Structure 1
């Protein structure tokens, strides 16, 4: 089924206009929160307020503790620059120089960017709002959660004004909020000590705290706290999914819709599974002899702790997507493994959109280019991803993901992009394990119970050896693109179609239709989510039995 271009559809699909009209700008925009005044900046169409603290700095004894609410605001504050990003993990790219290119570097910089400056004093958020929005305007709100492999990232990389300006053009103005959250070991420290202290998944707890801030204050900016959509990409999308499955699925009224780009409830294990990483951090910071190693880590000099974190395996290490620092079941925020929570029905009953890029695994397969034959591949999979799986399962997995390079990722590129004999095969495996299978599993368990939509991005297929790689869909939403229009529709109507139904069908397991983003003269079409059906079904079961 082919669809007209977005230009042909825009009048019909996005034709509903609100009564909002932006008045002329007068002076410096300022808002009052409690007894404090925050002075922002305007371009005449958009007001933005940057770097507003939403929790006390998680420093000193607040390091490795749950976020603590701010004291009431007082005084006058400049809100014209982003706050510092939370401490970033060093990026080490073990990629041979002969295969790097500006195209690959562009994808890497899009997907994983170290956001600077960085500081432990980092729990700030930012608000973009149309000029003229004020308390009582009640515009819908989108809350953006950045990606970065739970190791890197910050809000300063993303201009929310792009989204708000487009919403005004569509006659469907929204308020945009973005928040920092703790990443790497600072936000996702594993270990039995962490579990016992109830301080797991602090990065997710930071996000939740930002959602509470939105409920308390967003009305002042013209937002409607009852109409908040949470939205993210990559680690941000996984975060959105995990916010949906926590607390027995009770949103606490913090959000009523979810939009996920490259992220669903992932097959991760218990927080104690990362004990070796906790122990290594304790050893490298000189805390091994302490009677309370967690408190010792709180008191460790920042530079010492940061150096130890930087020495830990990162997303481009050999273990790749078997991340060192990532959300794990902690018995508190995540009462069980995320996919088990889905099976138990612990899912927020809200409309959601979830989708992936066609070649999610190519970027992450760059770290295993030294795996060049099936024997090495078997050892890599067994050692890194499923150490407890029987040999028969590994054999079946490899039969479903064969050595034939024409079946590997980037998909549909034939004999091109064969960096090594196993590169395209590994890329297919990684993309399906962490992204495609998790998305399909989520939809198969929830599409009959709530309104769901799904997509696949196949753009930039020939731009580099990475194909339609992880994070390439960001260009559809933060650049001039049709994805942003679907997002804005969803934020306004809890439906990416907006007021006109039928363009993007709801997902159901019978037809399993995906909105498909393409290059060329027909940029949008519908395809079926039946690709690699046997392989993805098996890898889903394998991941359930052997969480990362």
Structure 2
């Protein structure tokens, strides 16, 4: 699921893999004074983009700052060279267990990239070799990875700048992941911050609001663009006790302070082990309703129209659920619903099976249950909340699995896309960028873009399908109306939101 939301002011967050950037440092590259530190970028003549890599936006969340809300960075004298990709936050894998809670698919760790607890950095990319004199629309990219993987370095701002013909400024951010960013528990709430990773995102957006004008960006025209970020979990309050036990902090008079003193590598080993022990394809450390930053379940807020933004562009992939389901396991829909959502009773398990009966094999039904309940249906709740202000798309190039589309708008950071077609590449990526620039994917800045007229979703539940022809020889981009049976299944998932945690 991809969410592209344009905000008048950066005042809220939505959460909504390969080689790094190599930049050519030049002595006359621009320097930006942020008040607490000055950063000198590096101009890359191959892309005609200046990158400011590894800009610190928050203090290192170490020691007593572990499990707390982000704090302002300390003042640093002199000019910092922003020409090296930042270290990524500690990573972990998705669950491998065939049952919930606690076969073999992983969110693979990338080799050779430094991982550290001190990871609250962002990258800024600007067109050209000098700070733009105009005020450019801003794109803030929030990486996916189930709240336990991903980083800023895999997503090169130069890709978006060049696809937008030099018409945007791009910010890619990092935030704490897994146990470091999403440890829940009563003691954390009392003497720390639940959802620290989300607070990092929010802090980074506040940084954009304050500082992006110094890079030539317009802080009143910011588009937040995010991908994936995983599913919900009903295991949060059990997790704190598990973390305390596995770090030998159970006997401490103050377990939370004990956790803050635990070596980060020990905590990362625990992070990996607990996540791997979770239900296959799901993510263990995720956001929770904390009563402060997140005050209610998402489905409730969306029903009430509590959204902060001018417009929404949402794109889902046809087969979102497939990679999160063990394709070799022998299970039926009733049992899968029971394992996926432990708060379900037999009535909800059976109703789930009834909703998906007749939709192919048991495995295909399970793939649909995973994809629709977690990714696709929540997208329609968002679309309805942005009624009259939203556009819906579907990425359908086979196999159209989760995250397969990323390589079409960040082509330099990934291996070659399976469908090599210039018309498709341009149409798909420029739809996002046209929206970021003008809040309307129809406002094309490239007349060779073949995307047909894209009506708002509210006009007949219209969706734009981005596909290839059956023989793979050409782009096939066309509009459809959302399948009514899908919307009925989504109504079911919305009705049980309290039990699924959505």
Q: TM-score, normalization: structure 1?
A: 0.76
Helix, strand or coil at the partner of 1:470: coil
Answering whether residue 196 of structure 2 is matched by residue 196 of structure 1, we say: no
Show CA shifts across 1:373-418 (max 9, x none): 43xx423321441x3333222212102212x5xx34xxxxxxxxxx
Query: Residue 122 of structure 2: which of 125, 133, 137 is its match?
Result: 125
- Structure 1 unaligned blocks of 5 or more: 1-24, 239-265, 409-420, 462-466
Distance 1:194 1:36, change over 3 A: closer
Distance 1:210 1:113, change over 3 A: same
Answering whether residue 391 of structure 2 is matched by residue 453 of structure 1, we say: yes
Which residue of the partner structure matches residue 538 of structure 1? 492
Query: Residue 147 of structure 2: which of 145, 150, 155 is its match?
Result: 150
> Do 2:311 and 2:386's aligned partners in 1 also have CA atoms closer than 8 Å?
no
Which residue of the partner structure matches residue 30 of structure 1? 30
> Do 1:359 and 1:468's aligned partners in 2 also have CA atoms closer than 8 Å?
yes
> Do 2:232 and 2:286's aligned partners in 1 also have CA atoms closer than 8 Å?
no
- Kindly report which structure 2 residues correspond to 1:451-490, keeping only aligned pairs within 5 A, or say none: 451-459=389-397, 461=398, 467-479=399-411, 480-490=425-435
Helix, strand or coil at the partner of 2:88: coil
- Kindly report which structure 2 residues correspond to 1:241-280, keeping only aligned pairs within 5 A, or say none: 274-280=236-242
Which residue of the partner structure matches residue 524 of structure 1? 477
Show CA shifts across 1:415-460 (max 9, x none): xxxxxx6322211100011011111122223314xx111111111x
Q: Distance in 2 between matches of 1:50 and 1:523?
A: 37
Q: How far does residue 92 in structure 1 lie from its aligned partner after superposition?
A: 7.1
> Do 2:96 and 2:279's aligned partners in 1 also have CA atoms closer than 8 Å?
no
- Whose relative contact order is higher, 1 or 2, with alpha carbons under 8 Å and at least 6 apart? 2
Show CA shifts across 1:257-294 (max 9, x none): xxxxxxxxx7666xxx5111111110000111122222
Q: How far does residue 516 in structure 1 lie from its aligned partner after superposition?
A: 0.7
Distance 1:533 1:146, change over 3 A: same
> Do 2:94 and 2:281's aligned partners in 1 also have CA atoms closer than 8 Å?
no
Which residue of the partner structure matches residue 363 of structure 1? 323
Q: Distance in 1 between matches of 2:118 and 2:26?
A: 33
Which residue of the partner structure matches residue 512 of structure 1? 461
Which piece of structure 1 moves more, 478-487 or 303-312? 478-487
Distance 1:307 1:543, change over 3 A: same
Q: CA RMSD in A?
A: 2.7
> Do 1:47 and 1:131's aligned partners in 2 also have CA atoms closer than 8 Å?
yes
Answering whether residue 160 of structure 2 is matched by residue 163 of structure 1, we say: yes
Which residue of the partner structure matches residue 248 of structure 1? none
Which piece of structure 1 moves more, 29-38 or 299-308? 29-38
> Do 2:136 and 2:169's aligned partners in 1 also have CA atoms closer than 8 Å?
yes
* Equivalenced residues, count: 448
Q: Distance in 2 between matches of 1:94 and 1:519?
A: 36
Answering whether residue 3 of structure 2 is matched by residue 63 of structure 1, we say: no
Which residue of the partner structure matches residue 54 of structure 1? 57
Which residue of the partner structure matches residue 230 of structure 1? 224
Q: Distance in 2 between matches of 1:546 and 1:35?
A: 43
Q: How far does residue 332 in structure 1 lie from its aligned partner after superposition?
A: 1.2
Which residue of the partner structure matches residue 492 of structure 1? 437
> Do 1:267 and 1:338's aligned partners in 2 also have CA atoms closer than 8 Å?
no
Distance 1:384 1:290, change over 3 A: farther
Distance 1:470 1:90, change over 3 A: closer
Answering whether residue 246 of structure 2 is matched by residue 296 of structure 1, we say: no
Which residue of the partner structure matches residue 352 of structure 2? 397
- Structure 2 unaligned blocks of 5 or more: 1-24, 412-424, 446-450
Q: Distance in 1 between matches of 2:96 and 2:28?
A: 44
Show CA shifts across 1:106-136 (max 9, x none): xx66xx8678211111111111101155264
Q: How far does residue 64 in structure 1 lie from its aligned partner after superposition?
A: 0.7
Answering whether residue 347 of structure 2 is matched by residue 348 of structure 1, we say: no
Q: Distance in 1 between matches of 2:452 and 2:409?
A: 21
Helix, strand or coil at the partner of 2:325: helix
Q: Distance in 2 between matches of 1:502 and 1:397?
A: 37
- Kindly report which structure 2 residues correspond to 1:208-227, keeping only aligned pairs within 5 A, or say none: 208-227=202-221
Show CA shifts across 1:351-374 (max 9, x none): 1111210100000012x733x143
Query: Residue 286 of structure 1: which of 240, 244, 248 is its match?
Result: 248
Answering whether residue 279 of structure 2 is matched by residue 318 of structure 1, we say: yes
Which residue of the partner structure matches residue 19 of structure 1? none
Answering whether residue 86 of structure 2 is matched by residue 83 of structure 1, we say: yes
Distance 1:30 1:445, change over 3 A: closer
> Do 2:54 and 2:82's aligned partners in 1 also have CA atoms closer than 8 Å?
yes
Which residue of the partner structure matches residue 422 of structure 1? 362
Helix, strand or coil at the partner of 1:143: strand
Which residue of the partner structure matches residue 39 of structure 1? 40
> Do 1:476 and 1:482's aligned partners in 2 also have CA atoms closer than 8 Å?
no
Answering whether residue 181 of structure 2 is matched by residue 187 of structure 1, we say: yes
Show CA shifts across 1:457-490 (max 9, x none): 111x2xxxxx210001112322344222112111
Show CA shifts across 1:11-54 (max 9, x none): xxxxxxxxxxxxxx985412131374422221231111100111
Helix, strand or coil at the partner of 2:61: coil
